[in-house]
Amino acid sequence: MHSIDLLIEPRWLVPVEPHGVVLEGHAVAVDRGRIVAVLPAAEAASRFAPRERVELPAHALIPGLVNAHTHNPMTLMRGLADDLPLMAWLKDHIWPAEARHMGPEFVRDGVELAVAEMLRGGTTCCNENYFFPDVQAATYRRLGFRAMIGLPVIEFPSAWAASRDEYFDKGLAVRDEFRDEPLLGFSFAPHAPYTVSDESFERIRVLSDQLDAPVHLHLHETAQEIEEARRAHGVRPFARIQALGLVNDHLIAVHMTQLLESEIAALAEAGASVAHCAESNLKLASGFCPAAALRAAGVNLAIGTDGAASNNDLDMFGEMRTAALLAKAVAADARALDAGSTLRAATLGGAQALGWQERIGSIEAGKQADLAAVRLDEVETEPLYDVVSQLVYAAGRHQVSDVWIAGERKLRARALAGIDTAELRAKAGRWRERIAAA
C-alpha cells in the first residue's frame, strides 16, 4: 500500500472535468498537496494508507471556487455607499475614502477579513485587483491562500505610486520579490480604458507578452463608458483595446455589459476570458453581461463577486445562482447557462482565465488539492434530486463545511484554521469607526 497524506471520501464527488459528471462511492487521494488519484472508495482502501482519512457522508466535494474578479481590501468598505450608480459611487464616495484611508494597514486588514469570508464560502483562489500588491502578496502568503495579484496601473497618483513609471517599477519589483511563491501569481491590472493611457496600455502589452502574464481590466462596464469613449477617442473602448493588441488569450475582461456580436466573436477568436460579476452589475445598474451568448460563442466565462463595497459580499454560491438566473432572463431562454456550466465557470473557467487550468479548477489527478465540501443534508437542500442543480440553485455558503488549499485544511467543520475571527471583527470595528468619522 502507498502511504499518502490524505484520503477524502464524500457522498458525491463533482470533478467538473469531465463536464456534468457526479460520482458516488469515490474517493480523492492527496499527497504533498496534489491529487494523486480519483478512484472508487473500495479501491482506494486497498491501494492507499492515508495519514488522515476524512469521511463526508452527506457532502458533495467540489473544486475550490475561483473568484475571478475582486477588490478584497475594499471589504472594509462594505455598505459604505449603497444604492448609487457607478461613477457617483466611485467619484463621490469610494475614491475620496481611499484617498483618506488607503495604506498598508488598510490593505492587510481588508485582505485578512476577505480571506476568512471566502474560505467560509468555499472559495480557494481569487483574482485580486487593488493597490499595495506587496502587502497583498505578503498577507495571502501568510494565510496560505491562492491569489493572482494585480499590479495596478492608473494615470493618477495614489498612496501606492505617484506616477506612471512608479506604478510599473514598483509593480515589477513586487513580482520579482514574490515570483517563486507557489500559491501566488501576478497579472497587470490597468484600471479601465477611461483611466489608463494608450502609452501605458502599449507598455502593458509588451510586458504581458514577455512575462506570459494576464491583463486584468474593467471593460465595457456601463453604457456611459461607451459613450464617453466614443466622444474622446472616436471608437468604442473594445476597439481601442483591440487596436493596441490587448485582445488576446491573456485578457481577463471584467463586466462586459455592453457588447456587440462582432465583439463577442473577436473575444472568442482571440481566446480571451470574461469575468462575469452579475450581482455588482445589478446593484450598480451597470447593465447585463450576455453570459449565455459569450459561452455559446466559445468565450471562456469566469465568475467574480467584484468587491464587497459594491456587492456587498464575497459569496460565490450566491453569485453562481444570480449569474445563472440572470443569463436565462437576458437570453430569454430557460436553458441558458445551465447549472453544470455555471459551476464550471466558477471553478475551471476561473482557473483558465488566470492561466492556471493545469493547476486547479477541477478534481483530477496531478492537480493541486484545492477542494471544498458542501453539506447537502440541511433542510434548505432537501429533497435532493440533482446534486449540481442543488449546488447552484439551492445551496448556501453556510453549508460549506471543509476547505483545503494545496492539500492543507483551511476550514474544518466550519472552523477556520489559523485565523482569529474575534480579532478580525475587532479590526473591522476599528476601521468602521475611522471611516465613518471621516
- Inter-residue contact 264 to 219 (CB < 8 Å): no
d(CA 41, CA 281): 43
d(CA 357, CA 370): 12
Q: What is the pLDDT along the chain (438 residues), one digit of tens a residue?
A: 899 999 999 999 999 999 999 999 999 999 999 999 999 999 999 999 999 999 999 999 999 999 999 999 999 999 999 999 888 988 999 999 999 999 999 999 999 999 999 999 999 999 999 999 999 999 999 999 999 999 999 999 999 999 999 999 999 999 999 999 999 999 999 999 999 999 999 999 999 999 999 999 999 999 999 999 999 999 999 999 999 999 999 999 999 999 999 999 999 999 999 999 999 999 999 999 999 999 999 999 999 999 999 999 999 999 999 999 999 999 999 999 999 999 999 999 999 999 999 999 999 999 999 999 999 999 999 999 999 999 999 999 999 999 999 999 999 999 999 999 999 999 999 999 999 988
Cell of 187: 497579472
Amino acid identity, residue 67?
N
The predicted pLDDT at position 36 comes to 98
d(CA 326, CA 220): 18
The predicted pLDDT at position 430 comes to 97
d(CA 429, CA 260): 45
Which residue shows C-alpha cell 491573456? 250
Report helix, strand and coil shares of the chain as percent, to nearest 5.
45, 25, 30
Which residue shows C-alpha cell 502511504? 3
- Inter-residue contact 63 to 372 (CB < 8 Å): yes
The predicted pLDDT at position 374 comes to 98
The predicted pLDDT at position 1 comes to 85
The predicted pLDDT at position 3 comes to 98
Maximal C-alpha separation, the chain: 69
Q: Where in the chain is the domain with CATH 2.30.40.10?
A: 2-63+369-406
The residue count for the chain: 438
The predicted pLDDT at position 86 comes to 85
Q: Is 391 exposed, middle or buried (0-12, 13-18, 19+ CB in 10 A)?
A: buried
- Residue 378 sits at φ, ψ, to 5 deg, of -75, 160
d(CA 226, CA 328): 25
Region of 245 on the Ramachandran plot (φ > 0 left; ψ -120 to 50 alpha; else beta): left
Query: In the chain, how many H helices and how many E strands?
Result: 17, 17
Q: Is 135 exposed, middle or buried (0-12, 13-18, 19+ CB in 10 A)?
A: buried
Cell of 354: 488566470
**Strand pairing partners for 368?**
34
Sheet holding 251-255, edge to edge: 65-70, 123-128, 146-153, 184-190, 215-219, 251-255, 273-276, 300-303
Q: Which CATH superfamily is domain 2-63+369-406 in?
A: Urease, subunit C, domain 1 (2.30.40.10)
- Asked if omega into 73 is within 30° of 0 (cis), the reply is no
Q: Where in the chain is the domain with CATH 3.20.20.140?
A: 65-354
DSSP secondary-structure letter at 77? G
Go through 343-382 and write b for each residue having 16 or more CB atoms within 10 A of its CB, e for each that does not.
bbbbbbbbbbbbbbbebbbbbbeebbbbbbbbbbeeeebe
Overall pTM > 0.95: yes
> Of the candidates 310, 407, 408, 300, which has an alpha carbon nearest to the alpha carbon of residue 354?
300
Say which CATH architecture domain 65-354 belongs to: Alpha-Beta Barrel (3.20)
- Inter-residue contact 145 to 113 (CB < 8 Å): no
- Residue 271 sits at φ, ψ, to 5 deg, of 75, 25
Amino acid identity, residue 393?
Y
